[in-house]
Amino acid sequence: MKKYLAEMIGTFSLVFCGTGAIIINQESNGAITHAGIAVTFGLIVAAMIYTLGDISGAHLNPAVTLAFWVVKIFPTNEIFPYLLSQTSGAIIASTTLHLLFPNNEYLGSTLPSGSPTQTFIMEIILTFILMLTIIHVAKGSKEQGMFAGLAIGSVVLLEAMFAGPISGASMNPIRSLGPALISGHTEHLWIYLTAPIIGALTAVGIWKLLKQ
């Protein structure tokens, strides 16, 4: 139960701080800026990895959980509890933000600024890069593991910085699911539920080839 609670708290924190930065940027007429939003996402991911990583692994992302399961470093019987914990954390975070900012229409939802195909491909590639980093530091040397939060948080920041204006740089089905469900903007949710999983699974497949 400690692991499941940690996943819920970690995912809550990610969605609350990350999408909260988007909402507050809108509410404050751009006080945080796009760069500030990207930094917020990167920092909260790094913080949660260092805070909760030794308890649950700080997946905070069902695409990561499924990818770890595919390469047999995550037990089958814990998949559903992890997904449930992540989903609960995200929905609670978005509900809280809705209560705090009831007039905000999108609640930090990820929506394509171009074509759905463009965003779908971008999200696959972004998640591929992120997952390749995650699996490498998670299964690398002890020294690499010590820098996991910094490495993974930096990749999230980097990708949010340059790709955020186009695809939203979700890289995480649950990060997109919470705001979409609570705001009612589910029109492009399929992209963000499927593309990150494809990207993450492709990444662990490539990682296995590189390690052979």
Q: What integer pLDDT is reported at residue 193 of this predicted model?
A: 98
192-203 per-position pLDDT tens digit: 999 999 999 999
Indicate whether 139 pLDDT > 70.
Answer: yes
Q: Do 35 and 43 form a contact (C-beta atoms < 8 A)?
A: no
Q: What integer pLDDT is reported at residue 205 of this predicted model?
A: 95
Q: What integer pLDDT is reported at residue 141 of this predicted model?
A: 56
Indicate whether 212 pLDDT > 90.
Answer: no
Annotate the chain with three-state secondary structure.
Answer: CHHHHHHHHHHHHHHHHHHHHHHHHHHCCCCCHHHHHHHHHHHHHHHHHHHHHHHHCCCCCHHHHHHHHHCCCCCHHHHHHHHHHHHHHHHHHHHHHHHHCCCCCCCCCCCCCCCHHHHHHHHHHHHHHHHHHHHHHHCCCHHHHHCHHHHHHHHHHHHHHHHHHHHCCCCCHHHHHHHHHHHCCCCCHHHHHHHHHHHHHHHHHHHHHHHC
For CA atoms 64, 142, 17, 42, the dihedral sign is: negative
Segment 1-9 mean pLDDT? 96
81-137 per-position pLDDT tens digit: 999 999 999 999 999 999 999 999 999 999 999 999 999 999 999 999 999 999 998
* Domain ranges, ordered by start, for the chain: 2-211
* Domain made up of 2-211: CATH architecture: Up-down Bundle (1.20)
Segment 21-33 mean pLDDT? 97
Q: If we measure between CA atoms, which residue out of 202, 173, 203, 201 comes closest to residue 189?
A: 173
- pTM comes to 0.95
> Token pair for residue 25?
């940027």
Between 146 and 49, residue with greater pLDDT: 49
Q: If we measure between CA atoms, which residue out of 174, 137, 132, 172 comes closest to residue 57?
A: 137
Count CB atoms within 10 A of the CB of residue 77.
Answer: 7
Between 179 and 147, residue with greater pLDDT: 179
Q: What integer pLDDT is reported at residue 140 of this predicted model?
A: 64
With tokens 């940690």, the residue in question is 6
Round the average pLDDT of the chain to a whole number and report it. 95
Q: What integer pLDDT is reported at residue 11 of this predicted model?
A: 98
pLDDT band at 147 (very low <50, low <70, confident <90, very high): confident
